[in-house]
Amino acid sequence: MVLLRSSFSAPKVLHLLRCCPYAHHPSLSKLDGLLRHSVQQITNSNLSEIQWIQASLPVPDGGLGIKSVTSLALPALVASASNTLSLQSNILADCAFSNNNFLHTYLATLSSHFGDVSEVLPTKQPFWDRPGVLVDKALVEASFNSPHSRASFLAASSQLSGDWLFALPIALRGLKLDDEAVRVAVGLRLGLDLCIPHECHCGFMVDAQLCLQECPRQDS
């Protein structure tokens, strides 16, 4: 999970996304499909579309921080182009035609989705990425059909609740979670079904999310 988020997912192609106009390339969806499959294999789970959207949210927003490359491609290129406009102008000063059609097209796309952008283009990628994150977060929140689901998401979005995702799995320091602990932690964060509904030995029915708060023998 650590390697997937920090190295093998979006960071692996970030330089390419910032340098090339691939925002609508079909291969990005294929890569997202592979990332989703990898998360499911690592956590031994099955993610719905909404759960995958939540997983791709930043950790402070209740996700796993495994960013969708499809949603990252447009902000990455616009941020890179905005940061290098003066350099581009100097390099292309003697060119007869140096209009940046890709940048104007992508700015128009961002404006249609998130409102008009300022004339002074910000150079930081999080500025361009944040509106898309808020849209995805709103989709996740709109999908909740119970107070329990909403409370779980608010807990996952609270400060420090996702710090375990950034801890390096160093066994000698007591920081390494076993596979089952990671599976349960991810499941609780994303609202996954953690087990098959069954009857506890005390007679209480256990649901798919290990809801044992009413079990008279939960402390035993």
Q: 96-105, pLDDT tens digit by residue? A: 665 667 777 7
CB 68 within 8 A of CB 49: no
Query: Is pLDDT at 218 greater than 60 in this prediction?
Result: no
Q: Which residues contact 200 (CB under 8 A, 6 or more apart)?
A: 206, 212, 215, 217
How confident is the model at residue 70, as a pLDDT?
Answer: 92
* Domain ranges across the chain: 2-190
Residue whose entry in the numeric block shows the structure tokens 């950790």: 59
Q: 82-129, pLDDT tens digit by residue? A: 888 778 777 777 776 656 677 777 777 777 766 666 556 778 888 888
H runs (alpha helix) in 44-178: 49-55, 69-83, 85-91, 101-114, 125-142, 147-157
Residue whose entry in the numeric block shows the structure tokens 């059609």: 101
